[in-house]
Structure 1
Amino acid sequence: MPLALFALAVAAFGIGTTEFVIMGLLPDVANDLHVSIPSAGLLITGYALGVVFGAPILAIATANMPRRATLLGMTLTFVLGNALCALAPNYTALMSARVITALCHGAFFGIGSVVAAGLVAPNKRAQAIALMFTGLTLANVLGVPLGTALGQFAGWRSTFWAVTVIGLIAVVAQVAWLPKEIPLQRTNLAAELRVLGKTNVLLAMAMSVMASASLFSVFTYIAPILQDITGVSPHGVTIMLLIFGVGLTVGSILGGKLADSRLLPSLVGMALATVLIVAAFSQTSRSLIPAAITLFVWGVTAFALCPILQLMIIDQAHEAPNMGSTLNQSAFNLGNATGAWIGGLVVGSGVQLTELPWTGAALAMLTLLTALFYIYLQRRHAQTVGA
């Protein structure tokens, strides 16, 4: 079982690297393709929207297909998309290639989460999901900093070639280690779509949207913030991204453990902590050490929410876990796109980069308020049933 989870984590590492590394390379891509920083930032939005719309379509199309073959197909799509990114001759071609790469993202993580949860005992499900998502967080610890450094040294295209190789390694790992027969809960389209009508599912997805929007409204512009406000060199940005990535990894593991023990209190606690730490970044971004500490803690709180929200969706959408889990990935990436767009609007309006974290803090506050409303509805429902 650990090797099967490791195979999923390798693919998650590659997918996470290609999603996030563009942030560290934003100035390089903008200069090379002769576009503005906000226009280059739309490459993040385009990727996220590819996940948003591609995930449910692929979830429906593959609903009754073998899980192993489906995951392999998603990974091969990822390999193709990254190769096209590396070859893209202009901005439009790069945007198109990013969208192709994104098509596999949501369905892979959605289906992969359900597969991972099914490989372990019921009381270890969130930790299994977190282990798969550790590949995503390690992408931020290793993939993004190393990819940024490689892109700055050998050109941003070299980073996408490196990620293509990682994708091929993930294919080999899945062929070798994923079980030949993975249980498949067959369903029909009507049953899958009925999941969308459940209030608890919609609220959980809304929290995923807002939590991701909070992160990406600020993190999309992390390189300009660190260089222009903190005074970090381009190579120093790599180190700061590494620190943030360590925080993400710690947060993912912590969130998995918390979700298996105290799901709802952990949700509220991490949402509140995110509000406070993002707000603090408006001040700490002015100095190197405080900025580094803030980035680490922010990484912990932001990614602790991922396995918590993913397990909530699987539980609340138990009639159609694959659709629910995959749509939650769409929700995360809708938040990514929305956050990057909101951040771009704020920056484009003339607001100083030092004030941008307040936007992220406001979005995190919406996550917290939604979590409290979710708990209120849960308790009211329990009282009604008890009566």
Structure 2
Amino acid sequence: MKKGLFALALGTFTLGMTEFIIEGILTDVAHDMNVSIPQVGHLISIYALGVCAGAFSLILMHKYRPKNILMFLTSLITIGAVIASIAPSFWLLLCARFIQGLPHGAYFGTGAIVAVKIAKEGKGTSAVAMMCAGMPFANLMGVPLGTFLSHNISWRVPFMMAIVLGLTTLYMIYRWVPNVAALANNGMKAQFRFLRNLAPWLIIFA
């Protein structure tokens, strides 16, 4: 695997752990913050809202080079983890979760573009698959480890892990991801041309 693809995959690993760790530590957060389980469940919903809001940011950032976009998004992941790890109140933790969700969709979209550009000819699909492999690895290894540490030490430990992962990803992207050219701006209509084909509609209905 190219170093650049590994850096991108580490980013998806960090996102996967950040997204799904909350399910394993709900009770720990509830007891420590003195809130109910249903209230803590909002930490899942607010992350999803962040994902939806952040996906549209690519419309504003398309003129920048993908590497710079990835570094900005990775910085957001890290900032959200820092706030979550030190949040003194449940409401600040909610804000942190929203920030953590913002880079999710944009990172996958930008990362896929970069993965295709740095892949060998005809290996674009494999490169994207390698980048996305970080997500299932996060569910298989990162989330269980974070849950274990939360139960035995503190629920803040998984967020501290996300800080380390975010900073490592940021460094690796800076060092290993090539500075490929920004995408051409073909206007807003061009973003929806894919809907002229049957395949995306089948996926949407499924």
Partner of 1:203: 201
- In structure 2, what residue type is equivalent to 1:40? V
Aligned to 1:52: 52
- Would you say 1:191 and 2:184 are equivalent positions? no
Stretches of structure 1 lacking an aligned partner (at least 5 in a row): 207-369, 372-387
Aligned to 2:10: 10
**For the pair shown, which has the larger CA radius of gyration, 1 or 2?**
1
The answer to whether the 8 Å contact 2:29/2:40 transfers is yes
Superposition TM-score, scaled by structure 1 size: 0.50
* 1:102 equivalent in alignment to 2:122: no
Q: Does the 8 A contact of 1:195 with 1:201 survive in 2? A: no
Gaps of 5+ in 2: none
Q: What SS does the corresponding residue of 1:156 show, helix, strand or coil?
A: coil
Q: Would the aligned equivalents of 2:195 and 2:201 in 1 still touch at CA under 8 Å? A: no
Q: CA deviation at 1:117?
A: 2.0
- CA deviation string 1:130-179 (max 9, x = no partner): 11111111111221011111111111012111111110010111111101
Q: For residue 172 of structure 1, what is the amino acid of its counterpart?
A: Y
Give the number of the structure whose residues are more often helix, by fraction: 1
Letter of the structure 2 residue corresponding to residue 126 of structure 1: T
SS at match of 2:180: coil
Match of 2:148 in 1: 149
Distance in 1, matches of 2:199 and 2:80, equals 31
CA shift for structure 1 position 93: 1.0
Distance (whole Å) between structure 2 residues aligned to residue 188 and residue 153 of structure 1: 52
Deviation, 1:107, is: 0.5
Following TM superposition, the consecutive aligned residue runs of length 4 or more in structure 1 with deviations greater than 6 angstroms are none
| Amino acid of the structure 2 residue aligned with 1:115 | V
How is 1:43-122 mapped onto 2 (pairs within 5 angstroms)? 43-56=43-56, 58-121=57-120
Task: Tell me how far apart the structure 1 counterparts of residues 163 and 115 of structure 2 sit (CA, whole Å).
Answer: 24
Aligned equivalent of 1:234 = none
Q: Deviations over 1:237-262 (max 9, x none)?
A: xxxxxxxxxxxxxxxxxxxxxxxxxx
Q: How many Å separate the matches in 2 of 1:133 and 1:72?
A: 17
Instruction: Flag the structure with more relative contact order, 1 or 2, with Cα contacts below 8 A and sequence separation at least 6.
Output: 2
- Cα distance, 1:104 vs. partner? 1.0
Deviates more, 1:196-205 or 1:71-80: 196-205
Cα distance, 1:196–1:45 mapped onto 2, change above 3 Å: farther
SS of residue matched to 1:146: helix
Question: Is the alpha carbon distance of 1:82 and 1:148 closer, same or farther for their aligned partners in structure 2, counting shifts above 3 Å?
Answer: same
Output the amino acid matched with 2:177: L
Letter in 1 for 2:5: L
- Report the number of matched residues: 206
Q: Identity, % of aligned pairs?
A: 36
Per-residue CA distance 1:81-137 (angstroms, 9 max, x = gap): 110011112221111111011111110111101211222245422221111111111
- SS of equivalent to 2:92: helix
1:64/1:192 Cα in 2 relative to 1: closer, same or farther (>3 Å)? Answer: farther
SS of match in other structure, 1:160: helix
Alignment deviations for residues 32-61 of structure 1 (CA, whole Å, 9 cap, x no partner): 2222222222211110111112111x1111
Name the aligned partner's letter for residue 76 of structure 2: T
CA distance in 2 between partners of 1:153 and 1:192 (Å): 51
Q: TM-score, normalised by structure 2?
A: 0.91
Secondary structure at the residue paired with 2:156? helix
Change (3 A) 1:202 1:134: closer
User: Hey, what does 1:37 align to over in structure 2?
Assistant: 37
8 Å contact 1:87–1:157 — kept in the other structure? yes
User: Match for residue 166 of structure 1?
Assistant: 165
User: Conserved in 2, the CA contact under 8 Å of 1:60 and 1:189?
Assistant: no
One-letter code of the match for 2:137? L
Q: Distance in 1 between matches of 2:195 and 2:53?
A: 18
